[in-house]
């Protein structure tokens, strides 16, 4: 099975009700894009069009056709058109765009290059997922700071291993890197410590870090502080998401449920075919917290699962904080539903795939809560 062969094979639209008013201090926009991730698009918009204080509710994948809401402080242009994205003003508001105003995401997916067994798996699993839901894991898109089994940047930061964090950031390739980034990181790895040589080939994202290291070659903590704040926040979010997935897997095992393991970039995801009554009642009553030094597990079962996830990393909940201060940067405590049920789930009859001869394609349509991953649902449907 193949997904995201074309951008239009993965369509996602944010469902949101922005509180519009004629004279609000924030400009509210719809951003429609292909072949751009959200952060890169917003970075270009802020630099080129001088929009300030931009915020968004979610992050949308580069390899998709996505529609989402963003906001900026003050006045802005009514329309911005760049290659592969359009930003259109829809009104003003008293508040910026945030996750609080979002009700979900509507997806339209095309699954391609499917075998007859894969088509049968989707048909078999659809009614089970509608009845029992699926484990609400974070998918590997969220794990962009994981480096080929060498750990997470945030884990290095927690332990004060700033040199190691920088090596993961600038000199270790990721499955999500494009060819240009891979070449750059390979060059930095070969010239590690020779910051002048690294600067000659530096991508813009890394210039400020390398300039600092050129003048302060041993101050790795100071160099970490030069990484863009939104990227540092993503590194922390990625590690919390990985630990949440591990916690969820331990919870599923604790109920004695049958499981099927599906590999992903950061390890394995354990899916249950169905929930027993005890597990169903638990996941209805409790949301599952992410790991933070301020986390309150809420019940003994969750506390045990969290501890099992952390001990494998050599950490405890008390350790889930950074040893340096940077405004607004910390492991934020929040909870997440352990099990979700897709709404308005529809599946087409299999058809001949126009791109892959002698195989089938199937289209899916559904709505998921904010923060839930369509790719995780696809993984569940395919087991």
- Domains with residue ranges and CATH for the chain: 1-133+341-383 (3.30.2350.20), 161-227 (no CATH)
Q: How much is the pLDDT for 147?
A: 57
Q: How much is the pLDDT for 173?
A: 86
Q: Are 26 and 3 in contact (CB under 8 A)?
A: no
Closest CA to 287 of 331, 237, 339, 241: 339
Instruction: Report the distance separating Cα 252 and Cα 235, nearest Å.
Output: 26
Blockwise average pLDDT, block size 10, the chain, 383 residues: 96 94 94 94 94 93 94 95 97 94 96 97 96 96 69 94 95 84 92 94 90 96 94 94 98 97 94 97 98 96 98 95 92 97 96 97 97 97 95
Instruction: Report the distance separating Cα 335 and Cα 74, nearest Å.
Output: 33
Closest CA to 37 of 55, 64, 69: 64
Six token digits for residue 123: 């048909």
Fill in the DSSP letter of residue 282. H
In the three-class reduction of DSSP (H, G, I as helix; E, B as strand; rest coil), residue 367 is classed as strand
Q: Are 34 and 115 in contact (CB under 8 A)?
A: no
pTM across the whole model: 0.92
Q: How much is the pLDDT for 191?
A: 94
Q: In the chain, what's the furthest Cα-to-Cα distance?
A: 62
**Total residues belonging to the chain:** 383
């Amino acid at each position: 099975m193949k997904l995201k062969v074309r951008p239009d094979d993965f369509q996602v639209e944010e469902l949101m009700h922005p509180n519009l008013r004629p004279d609000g201090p924030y400009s509210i926009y719809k951003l429609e894009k292909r072949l751009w991730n959200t952060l890169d698009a917003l970075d270009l918009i802020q630099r080129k069009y001088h929009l300030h204080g931009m915020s968004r509710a979610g992050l949308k994948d580069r390899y998709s056709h996505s529609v989402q809401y963003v906001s900026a402080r003050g006045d802005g242009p009514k329309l911005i058109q760049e290659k592969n994205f359009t930003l259109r003003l829809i009104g003003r508001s008293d508040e910026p765009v945030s996750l609080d105003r979002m009700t979900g995401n509507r997806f339209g997916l095309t699954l391609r290059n499917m075998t007859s067994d894969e088509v049968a798996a989707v048909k078999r699993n659809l009614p089970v997922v509608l009845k029992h839901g699926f484990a609400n894991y974070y998918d590997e898109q969220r794990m962009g700071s994981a480096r080929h089994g060498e750990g997470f940047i945030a884990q290095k930061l927690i332990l004060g291993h700033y040199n190691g964090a920088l090596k993961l950031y600038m000199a270790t390739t990721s499955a999500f890197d494009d060819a240009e980034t891979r070449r750059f990181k390979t060059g930095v790895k070969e010239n590690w410590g020779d910051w002048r040589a690294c600067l000659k080939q530096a991508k813009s994202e890394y210039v400020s870090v390398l300039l600092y290291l050129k003048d302060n070659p041993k101050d790795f903590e100071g160099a970490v502080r030069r990484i863009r704040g939104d990227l540092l926040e993503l590194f922390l979010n990625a590690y919390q998401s990985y630990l949440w997935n591990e916690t969820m897997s331990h919870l599923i095992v604790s109920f004695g449920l049958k499981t099927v393991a599906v590999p992903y970039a950061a390890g394995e995801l354990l899916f249950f075919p169905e929930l027993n009554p005890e597990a169903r009642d638990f996941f209805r009553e409790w949301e599952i917290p992410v790991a933070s030094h301020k986390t309150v597990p809420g019940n003994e079962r969750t506390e045990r699962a969290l501890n099992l996830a952390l001990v494998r990393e050599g950490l405890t909940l008390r350790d889930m904080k950074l040893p340096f201060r940077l405004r607004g940067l910390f492991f934020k405590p929040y909870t997440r539903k352990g099990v979700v049920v897709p709404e308005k789930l529809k599946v087409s009859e299999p058809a001949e795939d126009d791109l892959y001869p002698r195989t089938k394609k199937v289209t899916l349509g559904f709505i998921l809560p904010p923060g839930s991953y369509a790719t995780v649902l696809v993984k569940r449907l395919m087991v």
